[in-house]
Amino acid sequence: MRSALRRRTLWVPLLSLATALVLVLQGCGGSSGGTETGGGGASVSETGGAASEGQAGGAAEGKRVLRATFAWPLKIDPAIGTDEAASTALVNLYSSLVYPTASGEVQPYVAESWDVSDDHLTYTFHLRKGVKFHDGTELTSADVKFSFERLMAIGQGFSYLFKGRVASVETPDPYTVIFKLTKPFGPFLSTLPRLYIVNSALVKANEAAGGAYGENGDYGMAYLNAHDAGSGAYEVEEFDIATHITMKKFPDFFAERDPDSPDEFTMIGTTEASTVRTGMANGTIDISDQWQTAEAYDALAKLPGVKVAAFADGGQMYLMMNTKKAPTDDLHVRKALSMLLDYDVITKDIFPGTQISHGPVSGVLPGADATIPALSFDLDGAKAELAASKYAGKLDQYPVVFEWTAEVPSEEKIALMLQANAQKVGLNVKIVKTPWTTIIEHVSKPETTPNLVSIQVAPDYGEAGSMLDIKYSIANQGSWQETEWLGDKEIDSMIADALSTIDTQERLAKYKAIERKVMELLPSIPAFDTVAHHAYRADYITWKQLDDPIPVLGYMFDARFIAVKPH
C-alpha cells in the first residue's frame, strides 16, 4: 500500500484564543484621526490619540481578556453551526485534522502528516500523539470517525461538504484515520478544517434517550448546544445562549499559541451601534462586529486607541432572488432588478471599501473569473427587460418582497435604493426589516422564501468551488446560503465535475465556466465583494491575522493569534 501512496508532510504554525465579558458601559471619548495601511493584507484607519491610564475597564488586573461583538444567535454544536458567530466559536473550541492558510492550502493540525493514493481515493492521516480533549482524555482516530459519522447522520452544518463524497472512514489503529472517497474530490484536504473533532466518549455519555438517531438518542445535540466536547485552544466557561459565550484558555492545548493570547475570549451577541461605541470607548468591548454602518465606523475610528481594520474575507453580498416565485421566476425581471442598483454608490458610500463584483464569486478566491463584466445601473435597460418579461403590463399585480437583515442596518439603504428606482420603472418593491432568525426560517421552503433577500456569504474553504457549491448545488437548496431555489441540473453537474477534478489549474478553469453560466441565469445579484470592517482597540491588541488574512469564515478570530495586553 505504501508504495502506491504519495507522502505529504507540512509544518503548521498555530496559536490560541481567549476573552471575557464585562459590559460596564460608561462614557465615550473622541479625537480626530487618519488612515494607514496595516500589515500586508489589511487596511487600517486609526486615531492619533492614546487611551488614558485606567480608561479601559472591566477586566481583572493582569488578566488578558478579549471581547468581541457578533450577530446572534450562536450555535456551538459542530454538526449544526455554519455562520460567522458559529464558525468563530468552533475554530476556538475544537480542532480539526488540518488548518487553512491564506493561500488556500492547508497545514497539519491534529494530523501531523498524511498520504494520498495515486488514484486520489484514499487519504491516510497520521495523528499527533498526546492531543487532549478538555476533560483530559486523549484524542484518537475513533473520535475522528465518530465526529464524521455524527456530522453525516445529523445532516446539517458542514455535512454538505462530504455528502456523497466519502464512502467510509477506517481506523486501523488509534493514531491512523483512513478516508476512502466515492470519487476524486479535488478540494478534499481544503474542506477538512470544517470537520471538527468531538470527544466521542463525552458525547455518548450525554446522549439524551428518545432522539431521532436510534441507539445514539439525540446524538448529544442538547448537550453540545450548551457545552463543548473539543480539544481547541479554548473551552466553554459560561454560555448564555441569548447574550454571550465566554471561553477560557485550555492549559493543555497541543499546538503553538501566542504567549500573549487572551486568557478569556467572550463573544457578545449584539450589533447595536450605541452599545458597541460605548463599550469600545471604555474598553469593555475590544473588537466590533462587522455589521456597523459606515457612519458608525467613522465614529469608532475617532475614539482614542481605536483602529478600524478592513480585510477581504472572500465573501459576497448577494441579493438572492426566489426563482420559483412570481415575478422573480422570470429572467427578464431578475435582470431588471440587477439594473436598479447603483453599484458605485453601494461600494463607495453604503459599504465603503468594498469592491464591485465580477460574477458570483469574490475576486480574491482562486478560480474567480475577473473577466466577467460587472453589473451596472441602467434604468432604461431595466424598462426594456420588464417590457420583455411575461409580466409586462401587469407588474402591479406582482409586488417584489425584499427582506433585509435587521441586524445589518446598512442593508436597508440598498433596499430603499432598489425600491425608489423600481418605482421609476413601474415595479413595486415592498421592503421588510426581518430578524436573521426569521430569515433563516423563511428561506427553508420555496413558498415562504421572499422574492429578494440580502445575505452575505463567505467561503467554507479557500477556493471558488466553495462558493459555487454552497450557492448553486441542488443539494444545498433551503439553506440560508442558497435561497434562490434555482435547481439547475446543468450547473449542478458542472459543479460536481469541477470538484472531482484533481489538477488544480484545470479545476479553477472549470469554476470560471460555471460562474459565466450562473450569470446567464442570474439567480442572485452579486452586489459587491465583501470587505470585513472591524473596529478594535489597537492600543492593547495586536491582531496578527491582519498581516495575512485567511478567507475562510471564522479563522480571522482564532484567538491563538491575537495578542492582548492586560487592561
DSSP 46-87: EES--PPTT-S-SS-TT--EEEEEE-S-----TTT--SHHHH
Same domain, 137 and 285: no
Confidence grade of residue 41 (pLDDT, cut at 50, 70, 90): low
Q: Specify the pLDDT at position 403.
A: 97
Give the predicted TM-score (pTM) of the model.
0.81
**416 and 527 belong to one structural domain:** yes
Which helix (DSSP H) or strand (DSSP E) does residue 90 occupy? helix 84-93
Q: Which of 23-27, 69-73, 404-408 comes out lowest in average pLDDT?
A: 23-27
* Domain-located, residue 24: no
Helices 504-521, 489-499: crossing angle, 10 deg rounding: 170
The candidate with the shortest Cα–Cα distance to 367, out of 490, 491, 461, 492, is: 461
pLDDT at 19 over 70: no
Residue 42 confidence (pLDDT):
55
Check whether residue 242 and residue 319 sit in a common domain: no
SS3 216: helix
Rg for the chain, CA atoms, rounded: 24
512 with 567, same domain: the answer is no
Q: What is the rounded distance in angstroms from the CA atom of residue 51 to the CA atom of residue 540?
A: 9
Average pLDDT over residues 32-48: 40
What are the start-end ranges of the E strands in 212-353? 234-240, 244-249, 264-269, 306-321
Give a yes or no: residue 8 inside a domain. no
- Residues 478 and 338 grouped into a single domain: yes
Q: Into how many domains does the chain fold?
A: 3
372/487 same-domain check: yes
- On average, the pLDDT of the chain sits at 89
Q: Which of 170, 192, 222 is the last residue of a domain?
A: 222
Residue-level pLDDT at 313: 85
Do residues 108 and 134 both lie within one domain? yes
Pairing of strands 166-173, 176-181: antiparallel
pLDDT for position 251: 97
Q: Could you read off the pLDDT of 92-105 as tens digits, one per residue?
A: 999 999 999 988 78
User: Does one domain contain both 488 and 543?
Assistant: no
Q: C-alpha cell of 317?
A: 453580498
Give the three cell numbers for residue 379.
434604468
- Which backbone phi and psi does 406 adopt, to 5 degrees? -60, -30
- pLDDT reported for residue 567: 80
Half-sphere exposure of 326 (CA within 13 A, CB side): 10
What does the pLDDT look like over 179-213, one tens digit per residue? 999 999 999 999 999 999 999 999 999 999 988 99
Say what the pLDDT of residue 18 is.
Answer: 32
Looking at residue 50, what is its pLDDT? 36
* 121: CATH: 3.90.76.10
CATH of residue 456? 3.10.105.10
Band (353; pLDDT cuts 50, 70, 90): confident
What are the pLDDT digits (tens) for 74-94?
999 999 998 899 999 999 999
Please tell me whether residues 338 and 198 are part of one structural domain: no
20, part of any domain: no
The band of 61, judged by pLDDT with boundaries at 50, 70 and 90, is low
Could you tell me if residue 23 is inside a domain? no
- Of 460, 400, 442, nearest in space to 425 by CA: 400
* 19: in domain: no
Quick one: cell of 546?
Answer: 491582519
- Beta strands, E only, 464-555: 524-537, 541-543
Query: Minimum mean pLDDT among 20-34, 231-245, 290-304: which range?
Result: 20-34
Is pLDDT at 32 greater than 70 in this prediction? no
Q: Flag whether 22 is in a domain.
A: no
Percent of the chain whose pLDDT exceeds 90: 80
- State the residue range of the domain holding 357: 312-531
For residues 86 and 99, state if they share a domain: no
Q: Per-residue pLDDT tens for 130-185? A: 999 999 999 999 999 999 999 999 999 999 999 999 999 999 999 999 999 999 99
Query: Grid coordinates standing for 288?
Result: 466590533
Instruction: Identify whether residues 242 and 375 lie together within a single domain.
Output: no
Choosing from 161, 194, 222, the residue where a domain stops is 222
**Mean pLDDT over residues 506-526, rounded?**
97
| Assigned domain for 244 exists | yes
Residue 69: give its domain's CATH number: 3.40.190.10
What pLDDT is stored for residue 504 in this prediction? 92
Distance CA 394, CA 397 (A): 6
Q: What is the pLDDT of residue 491?
A: 97
Q: Considering the domain boundaries, does residue 25 fall inside one? A: no
Question: pLDDT tens across 232-245, in order?
Answer: 999 999 999 999 99
Q: Are 296 and 430 part of one and the same domain?
A: no
Specify the pLDDT at position 62: 77
Compute CA distances 470 → 5, 58, 252, 322, 527, whole Å: 31, 41, 36, 16, 18
Domain boundary among 187, 222, 257: 222
